[in-house]
Structure 1
């Protein structure tokens, strides 16, 4: 009997894997081993103290005419917690994300890009209260 499920990119190949907790037994890892290629970008947010995990940040990823929106959150599943940061965004076969916009919970935003498929981008909170337009 299982009580919780969490998602994460365990093997860092761009697809989500599952971890399931069981009652009275060990957790089980289910790896997603499809050969999908590098149609994704990984975005790791470095927040400002005291919110180093950037909880509450909104991430928008722009690819052509499409926009994806993610919110960094601690909410996940009953008796489990999925990987919240980094954000993993699929590109739908595009070679890159045109741009990434991070709106920080304390205000302000950071714009970055383009980001090549298969890459990891670290986006840091603007220092000393600096904000991008």
Structure 2
């Protein structure tokens, strides 16, 4: 709330499951890929999120999206629908890393995550 306290959360549940993180970089769309819809399919099912910059007054959301994969060691597919209308699909994306993906489907950078 406005004028209220800030909160910091700490995960004490451990790191037994896997995840991937996707950071979008637009070329035809805006540079941060805001508005891109990212859909991740893994053995545990399908999940999707939209890149957005904030959701309330004076707020900022992290532009990198995080997808839990459960016990799956990879995402079978990562589909990105960009604001420009471009659609990209990446296959067999290994878990526990952050991927920076450029519009057009090129992976610009991969940073392994600490587990």
Q: TM-score, normalised by structure 2?
A: 0.76
The total of aligned residue pairs comes to 105
Structure 2 residue runs of 5 or longer lacking an equivalent are: 106-115
- Give CA deviations for 1:38-92 in whole Å, capped at 9, x if unaligned: 5100111111266111011010001136111111123424542221x21100002
CA contact (8 A) 1:38 1:118 kept: no
**Larger CA Rg, structure 1 vs 2:** 1
1:93 is matched with which residue?
A: 71
Separation of aligned partners in 2, 1:50 and 1:71: 14
Q: Kindly indicate whether structure 1 or structure 2 has the higher relative contact order, using CA contacts under 8 Å at least 6 residues apart.
A: 2
Structure 1 residue runs of 5 or longer lacking an equivalent are: 5-20, 128-133
Structure 1 segments of 4 or more deviating over 6 A?
Answer: none
Q: TM-score, normalised by structure 1?
A: 0.67
Report deviation, 1:32: 2.2
The structure whose residues are more often strand, as a share, is: 2
How has the CA–CA distance of structure 1 residues 33 and 58 changed in structure 2, closer, same or farther, with 3 Å as cutoff? same
CA contact (8 A) 1:61 1:69 kept: yes
Asked if residue 111 in structure 1 is aligned to residue 89 in structure 2, the reply is yes
